[in-house]
Amino acid sequence: MTKLSVNINKVATIRNARGGNNPDILQIARDCESFGAEGITVHPRPDERHIRYNDVIALKPILTTEFNIEGYPQKSFIDLVKSVRPTQVTLVPDAPDQITSNSGWDTKANFEFLSDIVSDFTELGIRTSIFIGTDPEMIEYAAKTGTDRVELYTEPYASAYGKDPEAAVAPFVEAAKIARKNGLGVNAGHDLSLVNLAFIHQHIPWIDEVSIGHALICDSLYFGLKDTIQKYKDCLK
């Protein structure tokens, strides 16, 4: 069964716009879990413009599902992950000033860098996932780092879906097959929505986890958080 991990960064963005603690990040995370989410994802950035490092620390003891921390592995991020010890860490190649992730790792060029980080987290019992595109060579080098999983960067799929769904999903199906052949688990995320999620899941039913934030939080403004989470879970049946 593919798990739904809700990225709550956008909720933190709303809170930070006015200061204070409304909406309450911890309560939102609890609610997501009680409404059926199998995981909570956060992506703390150095400028703390949405999720803050203190949020990450506060979330760990209250969560009952899987905790996934995404981010670029600079020293402060590595120290945070080692301190919190989430279920999973997802390594993304974001520059500090990026608005959002927009590419996967060049795992060949960054092989030693990623291998060392994966090894450190693995020793602490933290599952690792590397954010990646669909290039077969990049997937094969990711496998060589010792990572447990890769997360397929699905923005290209989402962008092309409306024009030709079959053509849009084809490279992701092939990438997922290569990942599985190399012994890797497969996660997916970025711009997945109620429009396109069921289709990619039908074609790659062995996806371990989808991490969804922006679209899910936007949909919850119309449907409510509880019903929205159920709608996304229905796409994964």
User: Strand, coil or helix: what is 20?
Assistant: coil
Instruction: Extract the tokens encoding 2.
Output: 């593919």
Q: For residue 44, which of 28, 67, 21 has the smallest C-alpha distance?
A: 67
**Cα Rg of the chain (Å, integer):** 17
Instruction: Extract the tokens encoding 98.
Output: 């990026």
The one catalytic residue in 33, 50, 66, 70 is: 70
201 catalytically annotated: no
- Considering all CA atoms of the chain, what is the largest pairwise distance in Å, rounded to the nearest integer? 48
First to last CA, the chain: 8
Which one-letter DSSP state was computed for residue 124?
T
214 catalytically annotated: no
The one catalytic residue in 66, 151, 190, 209 is: 190
Which residues, 6+ apart, have CB-to-CB distance to 109 below 8 Å? none
Angle at 36 between CA 235 and CA 59, to 5 degrees: 125
Residue 39 β-bridge partners: 5, 66
User: Strand, coil or helix: what is 19?
Assistant: coil
Amino acid letter for position 189: G
Catalytic residue numbers, as ranges: 43, 70, 190
